[in-house]
Chains A and B, each alone.
Chain A
Amino acid sequence: MAEILTKSRARNIFYGGSIFFVVIFVGMTVHSHRYVVQTSTAGMALSEDVVHGKHVWEKHSCINCHSLHGEGAYFAPELGNVMTRWGVQDSPEDAFEFLKGWIESQPSGVEGRRQMPRYDLAEEDIRGLAEFLRWADQTDTQGWPPNDAG
């Protein structure tokens, strides 16, 4: 083994192989990018409300308590399917009303229960968030999560 695998051979395998895998990975990324745009997220328009909602979501760093499609912190419930869980996925108006009611009732102040902070959001921010969460919910996530509990 010592003679077959010399240091310079090992180095060449490392460089050559890495380039090979990078090329394949880039190719698959290009394909995946197109698949996302054309197929898995195409069920609902990426409207101005959705984009605004994403910015509101980011500005308040909701991800550092909640998870979204299973990624984020694990301190608070999954939100990638929250609109389905609430049964409002198909109604923008209901989604907005539910979310507004939820956000404005926080923090619960219940002793011994995890608290969600109070956010003073404008009407359009809440509408954006609701649309953003509906948009996330309609994404084809290969059947995940396993059930509505998220």
Chain B
Amino acid sequence: MKYQSQKVALYYFLAAMALFGIQVLGGLLAGWIYVSPNFLAEILPFNVIRMIHTNALIVWLLLGFFGAAYFLIPEESEREIWSTKLAYIQLVILLVGTLGAVGSYLAGIHGGREFLEQPLWVKFGILVAALIFLLNVSMTVLAGKKTAITNVLLMGLWLLSLLWIFAFINPDNLSLDKMYWWFVVHLWVEATWELVMAAILAFLLLKLTGVDREIVEKWLYVIVATALFSGILGTGHHFYWIGLPGYWQWVGSIFSTFEVVPFFLMMSFAFVMVWKGRKNHPNKAALLWSLGSSTVAFFGAGVWGFLHTLHGVNFYSHGTQITAAHGHLAFYGAYVALNLAVFSYAMPMLRERAPYNQVLNMASFWLMTGGMAFMTFVLTFAGTIQTHMQRVIGDYYMNVQESLSVFFLMRFGAGTAVVIGALLFIYSMLVVRKTEVIPPGSANPVPGE
């Protein structure tokens, strides 16, 4: 840790990991209700559990991004954060808002737009926190050295905050409501968050592989260009069946197909940098998570996204377990694993120690990734059968679901592995103090030229 103010990242990461725990436990509970539907039915209905599961995910990912920004911006800009005090105030606002939201949900107070169920005051809190954050990091970057990494990172963070405005816009007309809702949801995960992801990945690869900055930054611009060129009009893949004009079927199909490109490039980027890299960084766990993240993102977002993005396919698969399969693997690969890569990289420095606990950390990677992959497969099988029975043959929804029960049981098993992996990860970050560094192998003797 070169700059004192990087320390604020520690508290963001701790808060993020706490919510990560809540998120996966909520998911496990929801998965159990699929297996045993009467469980808790009278006390804590499925919809409340699901909103805790999804909201906790989104908030902890954002906390991780904020923390990552506070960690990497000082190193990139070569100066301290403009105001650490503001950074802590921002964190407190976010935590109060989160606890407030969870408390309201449990008390039965919530809005009714998926993922945006937060009470209005919490939404405002998030807006205020975002503004404080933007002010803080922008002042830091403006006063310091400007790099492509901070450029792209800041652009992503500014734009995603700007899009939050649409969380406040809820027209009475349901079709308009849905159209603007996607401005937050799709333009977050398939546009602005990709900028954040690519910037953070570039930073990690720069540090872990020691490849020349010029090369890293050129890749970065190419990746984010393909992300926005495809992702903006790719929003159309959500506009097929909600009352919007028919031309979205072609615009959405064509442009969202190209959304595979940035994910493919990010995966290639990671592997090429490692291959070219002359440095042999001792933090192997961070490298594993970085490579794993870009690879699983390619499969979850790229391959599983493409699977159902063409309107001819989506007509049948829309809103089935196929969607659930994709949503899970895409979020895990792109954003969960990337955050865990940052934590694995930064936590040892923030806690001023060698990157130990590598074996536990790496075991948690395989447990979580294996669990998520298995979950995705069983949900994809379930979704395929559901699509055929319900959408092609026309069987009633509830009967179809009943015939899928074996898949839901396997999904619960997969979820259990993920939860164990997640808890193991948190444990390896926080508790174990035994030194356990994976010795670096020999550096690549013939750098791939």
Contact = CB atoms under 8 A, between A and B. Distances in A.
A69 B243 contact: yes
Contacts of A136: 174
State which size class the interface on B falls in.
35 or more
A54 interface: yes
B398 A61 contact: no
B174 A139 contact: yes
A115 B173 contact: no
Given A7-B218, A107-B41, A58 B47 contact: no
Interface string B90-134: 000000000000000000001111100100000000000000000
Interface residues of A, number: 70
A36 B243 contact: yes
A5 B38 contact: no
Nearest to B52: A64
A145 B50 contact: no
17 contacts: A7-B148, A7-B214, A7-B221, A21-B228, A33-B179, A36-B243, A40-B245, A58-B113, A71-B238, A72-B319, A73-B46, A74-B324, A75-B47, A76-B397, A135-B174, A145-B241, A149-B400
Contacts of A74: 319-321, 323-324
A149 B387 CA distance: 11
A17 interface: yes
Contact of A65 (B47, B113, B324): B47
Interface of A: 5-7, 10-11, 13-14, 17-18, 21-22, 24-25, 28-29, 31-33, 35-37, 40-41, 46, 50-51, 54, 57-65, 67-78, 107, 111-115, 117, 132, 135-136, 139-150
B225 interface: yes
A50 to B, nearest CB: 8
Given A114-B33, A115-B45, 8 more contacts: A11-B151, A18-B229, A36-B244, A64-B117, A69-B243, A73-B47, A142-B240, A144-B241
Interface string B193-226: 0000000000000000000001001100110110
B243 A18 contact: no
Interface of B: 33-34, 36-38, 41-42, 45-48, 50-51, 110-114, 117, 148, 151, 172-179, 214, 217-218, 221-222, 224-225, 228-229, 232-233, 235, 238-246, 248-249, 251, 315-316, 318-321, 323-324, 390-392, 394-398, 400-401
B319 A71 contact: yes
Nearest to B41: A115
Given A6-B218, A40-B243, A149-B391, A64 B114 contact: yes
A62 B112 contact: yes
A33 B111 CA distance: 23
Contacts of A17: 225, 228-229
A24 B396 CA distance: 41
B396 A149 contact: yes
The 3 closest A-B pairs by CB, nearest first: A58-B112, A70-B319, A64-B47
B111 A58 contact: yes
Contacts of A150: 390, 397
A107 B431 CA distance: 44
B221 A78 contact: no
A28 B114 contact: no
B81 to A, nearest CB: 25
A25 B235 CA distance: 9
Contacts of A29: 179
B175 A41 contact: yes
A61 B103 CA distance: 16
A115 B175 CA distance: 28
B112 A61 contact: yes
Contact of B233 (A21, A36, A63): A21
A40 B401 CA distance: 31
Contacts of B321: 74
Nearest to A6: B218
Nearest to A21: B232
Among B42, B174, B228, B394: residue with most chain A CB under 10 A: B174
B320 to A, nearest CB: 7
Contact of B397 (A11, A77, A115): A77
Contact of A61 (B38, B51, B238, B395): B51
Contacts of A54: 172, 174, 177
A36 B176 contact: yes
B392 to A, nearest CB: 7
